[in-house]
Amino acid sequence: MIAPKTARYSIPFFYEPRVDAEIAPLPIKGASDFAPFLYGDYLWESATNFVEMAGVKTLRKPRRPAAA
């Protein structure tokens, strides 16, 4: 509970990497490994899964080929 005469401050924090940022696993023992990818490729793939974006997925080619 906040006291009636105490000022309250909120500081929002927003974080999202640049679209050309490479996302890669950290070398942590026991952590699962994955192929590095570009955030923009992930964002496009995720956003175009919504029904409102139907048919636009092929308008943008991935900037980096998918890992084999």
DSSP 7-62: ------------TTPEE-----TTPPP---EEHHHHHHHHHTTSGGGTT-GGGS--
pLDDT tens per residue, range 32-63: 888 999 999 999 999 999 999 888 988 988 88
Q: What is the mean pLDDT of the chain?
A: 85
Q: How far apart are CA 62 and CA 41, in angstroms?
A: 6
37 versus 11: the higher-pLDDT residue is 37
**What is the value of pTM for the model shown?**
0.65
pLDDT, position 68: 46
Residue 2 pLDDT > 70: no
23 versus 14: the higher-pLDDT residue is 23
